[in-house]
Structure 1
C-alpha cells in the first residue's frame, strides 16, 4: 500500500516538473521571439549576386533553439544546386529545395521555388546564398530593364523542450521539414509573421524586341554568304 502511494506521488511530481519545465521553455522561447531579427544585404552586381542574411538572437537562445530560414524566391532568379553542393564543405549551414531547379529555362517559363536553410549554432548567424538571374523576354515597348523583387526570408524557430503550441498565436505556428534531409515534419514558430521588412529589387537588362527581325535577317544573310564562300573555296581546290 505504501509502495503504491509512493509511486503515484512520484509520478505526479514528475508530471508536474515536466509541465513546469515545458512552460518555462515556452516562456523563454516567447521572450527570444521578441528580440529576434533578420537583416538582408544583396551583394555584387549583374546576373550573379549573393544574398547575405544575418540573424540576431538572444545569446541564451543560440544553443537552445533550431533556426530555419525560409526563402520564397521569385521565378526571375534561381540557385544552382551543383554550386551549392560544392559549397557544402565550406559553409556551416545546410539547404533543402522544395523542387528541382532547371538552370536553362528563361524567366517566363520558370516557376518560383522555396528553399529551407538550416543554420549552425554560431555567432553571428550569417548565411550567404549565391543566386543567379534568369534571362527575360525582350521588350517590344521600349523598356531596357526588368525588375525582380527579392523578399527577405522568414525566420522560423523551434525547441525540443517546448511542446505547448497553444501558447502561441496560431497564425505564427507552421509546419516545415525538421532538417535538410526532409525526413520528417516539425512545428516551427514564424518570427516574421507580424514584422514588416523592406524588399530588395534587382534591375536586370533585357533585350530590345524591335531588333529581333533586323538581327535575324543580318544573321541569316551572313550565314548564307559564308556558306557560299566556303562552297566556292572547296570546289576550286577540290576539297571533299
Structure 2
C-alpha cells in the first residue's frame, strides 16, 4: 500500500499478489478516517470506465471540515489474479485552525476478504456483494445485497502517515478583517463595472 501525488488530493494504491492463482473474488474493506473523504461521483465515473469497483454505503458530504465528519468504510471489489492493483482516489479535509502547523493523519491497511473460492478457510461474514458497486442512487444504498466473505491474512500490514497543513489560529484576528475588506472592495468594483457596461449597452440600443 502506498500513497501517490501530494497535497490535498491524492491516490491510495494497493498492490496484491496471490499464489497460487485461484478463481475467486477479492474484497478490500478500507477504514477511512474523518479527516479524509472520497468523492462518490468520481468513483461512479471510474466504475463506468471499469477502473475501480467500489461501494460506499453512506452519503459523503465533501464540504464538511474534519471536526464535523465521521470515519467510514469503502468496499473495493476485484477478481483474484496473480497480481492485482487497485487505485483509490482520496481527498483530505480541512482542519480547524490551531497553534500547530500540521496535523498527523494515519490510514491503516485494509481488511481483505475472499469469496467464491474452491477452498475456503475460516468463518464467513456477511458483507456487501460485488453488484453493490452498480448502485448509483443514494436512496438505494440501504437495499444493497450481502454475500458471504472469508477474511484472509496477508504478510505486510502497514500504516501510512501524512502531515496535513493547518491554518494558524493566531492569524485569525488579522486575516478575517482583511479578507472581508478585500471581498467588499471586489464586490463594489464588480458592481461598478456591471452598471457601467449596462449603461453603454443601453445607449447603443437607443
In the TM superposition, what are the counterparts of 1:72-221 in structure 2 within 5 Å? Answer: 72-139=31-98, 141=99, 143-159=100-116, 161=118, 168=122, 170=123, 173-181=124-132, 183-192=144-153, 197-221=157-181
Change in Cα spacing, 1:228 to 1:46, as seen in structure 2 (3 Å) is closer
The structure whose RCO (Cα within 8 Å, separation 6+) is larger is 2
TM normalised by structure 2 equals 0.77
Change beyond 3 A, Cα 1:146–1:180: farther
Q: Please tell me whether Structure 1 or Structure 2 has the larger radius of gyration of its CA atoms.
A: 1
Question: TM (normalized to structure 1)?
Answer: 0.67
Q: How far apart are residue 60 of structure 1 and its match? A: 3.1
Structure 1 Cα separation of the partners of residues 76 and 180 of structure 2: 48
Partner of 2:94, secondary structure, is coil
Against the structure 1 CA distance between its residues 228 and 178, is the aligned structure 2 distance closer, same or farther, given a 3 Å change threshold?
A: closer
TM-aligned CA distance change 1:106 to 1:160, over 3 Å:
same
CA distance in 1, matches of 2:54, 2:180: 46
Tell me the C-alpha RMSD between the 2 structures.
2.9
Q: Is the contact made by 2:17 and 2:81 (CA closer than 8 Å) also made in structure 1?
A: no
| Structure in which a larger fraction of residues adopt strand | 2
Q: Distance in 2 between matches of 1:175 and 1:145?
A: 39
Gaps of 5+ in 2: 133-142, 193-198, 200-206
The aligned residue for residue 49 of structure 1 is: 10
